[in-house]
């Protein structure tokens, strides 16, 4: 009887704030996770608000189409994340895959352009400015979601965040192609000799023989 009591005491009393794995799904979140998901959701709202503010200033119908499609997709994805974050369970609307309309063609090389500088007034805003701000926002979303997914303990929220990272990457790629096509975003290249050297700077690895004695 004494030994049993010692064994029970050795385990120590459970702290009132400690939760076991048998908590309700709604509370199945860690502290780091909650803070990081808040950052993701706040960033998504920032992107949506930015797109709303920029929309009246868009001149190019093609860019307007990209903005509207990305806004609708981001809004749906935001609602999905909010749903599973609140419930801890599968969301009513699962994560979708964003499909861009652009071709995958990039124009390489630099052409002379005027130096960029901050706007002096809203009247100076152009499609180059708008697409650049959109690109920066979705790239920030990709980084925030990837970092948050590594901190999440809830399996549903982790999967939703991880699945949404490729969508941010796809939207960023679509915007970068649009910018490149209109010469807003130029892509330099190395000379052929340097390119070849760097392309062949790494060789495939092989699994070592772990049974070989040291």
Domain contains 115: no
Please give the structure tokens belonging to residue 43.
Answer: 């960033």
118, 58 contact by CB (below 8 A): no
Q: Residue 123 CB: number of other CB atoms within 10 A?
A: 7
Domain contains 24: no
Pick from 37, 20, 41, 17: nearest CA to 152: 37
Domain contains 68: yes
Please give the share of the chain, as a percent, with pLDDT higher than 70.
84
68, 83 contact by CB (below 8 A): no
pLDDT band of 114, cuts 50, 70, 90:
confident
Domain contains 211: no
CATH of residue 173's domain is 1.20.1260.10
Domain contains 158: yes
Pick from 207, 128, 109: nearest CA to 175: 128
In the chain, how many domains are there? 1
pLDDT band of 83, cuts 50, 70, 90:
very high
pTM, two decimal places = 0.82
Domain contains 169: yes
For 85, the domain range is 29-110+125-199
Least confident of 32-41, 147-156, 182-191: 32-41
Domain contains 45: yes
Domain contains 193: yes
In terms of C-beta density within 10 A (0-12 exposed, 13-18 middle, 19 or more buried), how is residue 158 classed?
A: middle
Helix axes 31-54, 127-149, angle to 10 degrees: 170
């Amino acid at each position: 009887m004494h030994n049993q009591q010692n064994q029970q005491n050795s385990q120590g009393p459970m702290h009132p704030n400690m939760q076991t794995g048998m908590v309700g799904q709604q509370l199945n979140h860690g502290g780091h996770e909650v803070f990081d998901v808040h950052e993701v959701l706040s960033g998504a709202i920032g992107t949506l608000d930015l797109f709303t503010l920029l929309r009246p200033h868009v001149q190019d119908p093609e860019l307007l189409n990209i903005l509207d499609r990305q806004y609708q997709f981001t809004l749906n994805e935001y609602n999905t994340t909010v749903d599973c974050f609140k419930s801890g369970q599968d969301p009513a609307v699962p994560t979708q895959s964003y499909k861009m309309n652009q071709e995958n063609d990039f124009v390489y090389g630099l052409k002379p352009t005027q130096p960029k500088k901050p706007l002096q007034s809203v009247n100076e805003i152009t499609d180059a400015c708008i697409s650049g701000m959109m690109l920066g926002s979705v790239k920030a979303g990709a980084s925030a979601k990837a970092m948050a997914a590594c901190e999440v303990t809830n399996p549903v929220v982790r999967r939703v965040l991880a699945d949404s990272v490729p969508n941010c990457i796809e939207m960023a790629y679509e915007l970068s192609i649009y910018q490149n096509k209109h010469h807003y975003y130029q892509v330099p290249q190395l000379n052929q000799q340097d390119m070849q050297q760097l392309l062949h700077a790494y060789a495939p690895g092989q699994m070592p023989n772990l049974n070989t004695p040291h």
